Amino acid sequence: MKIDIVFEYDLSNELSANIQELLNASFPEVYPKNRIYFKQLPHFRFLAFNQENQLIGHVGLDYRVMNLNGKPVRILGVIDLCVSQNTRSQGVASTLLGEIDKFSVRRNIDFILLFADNMTLYLKNGYKLVKNQCKWVKIDNETLITNGIGFETIDELMIKEVGKIAWSEGDLDFLGYLY
C-alpha cells in the first residue's frame, strides 16, 4: 500500500473523479453526488493506493484554530475517512490514522479531532470520546448556504492529544463549520 499526501489545489480531474466515486460508495445516503467535499474543501488529503495504483482509502484534513474554554487550540480535523468496500478490514483505515499521527509529530498541532458514528476504529487507534458544548457555523450541505450558528453537545466528538495541552470539557467554538 502507498500513501500520498495531496493538497486540494493539486488534485487532477482523474483523481478527483476517483475520490468522488469512493466517497459516494462509502456514504451513499448522505454524500453530495456532484462534489468531493461535504460542506467545505479540506486543506489536504491522505490517499491510500493498492499495488495496482487504485485508490482504496481516503481521509481529508482541515487545519485551523478553535476556541476551547476561551483559549485558542490548534486542531487538525479528520474528514470523511473511508476505505473501498473490497479492502475493508485489512488495516487501511488504521494505516491512514497512523499516517496522520506521524504527520502531527513535531508540528504545531494540539489535537486531532473527528466525529464518529462507530467509534471502535478510533478507540483502537488512541482517540477518546469527549463531551463539550460545541458552537459552529451551520452550513446546508446541499445548497452551501450558511444557516446560522449551532449550539449542541455532540455525542460523536472524539479527540487525540498530540501536543502539550490537555483537553478539557466545557465550551468548544469551532470558529467555522462542523466537519
Mean pLDDT score, 2-24: 96
Mean pLDDT throughout 140-155? 90
Q: Are 63 and 43 in contact (CB under 8 A)?
A: yes
Arithmetic mean of pLDDT over the chain: 95
pTM of the model: 0.93
Predicted pLDDT of residue 144? 83
Domain parsing of the chain, residue ranges: 2-177
Q: Residue 144: name the closest of 8, 17, 34 by CA.
A: 34
Task: Dump strand ranges (E) for 11-110.
Answer: 44-49, 55-68, 71-83
Q: Tens digits of per-residue pLDDT, 35-61?
A: 898 889 999 999 999 999 999 999 999
pLDDT at 26: 93
| Burial per residue of 101-134, b for 16 or more beta-carbon CB atoms within 10 angstroms, e otherwise | eebbeeeebbbbbbbbeebeebeebebeebebeb
The pLDDT value recorded for residue 35 is 87
CATH superfamily membership of 2-177: Gcn5-related N-acetyltransferase (GNAT) (3.40.630.30)
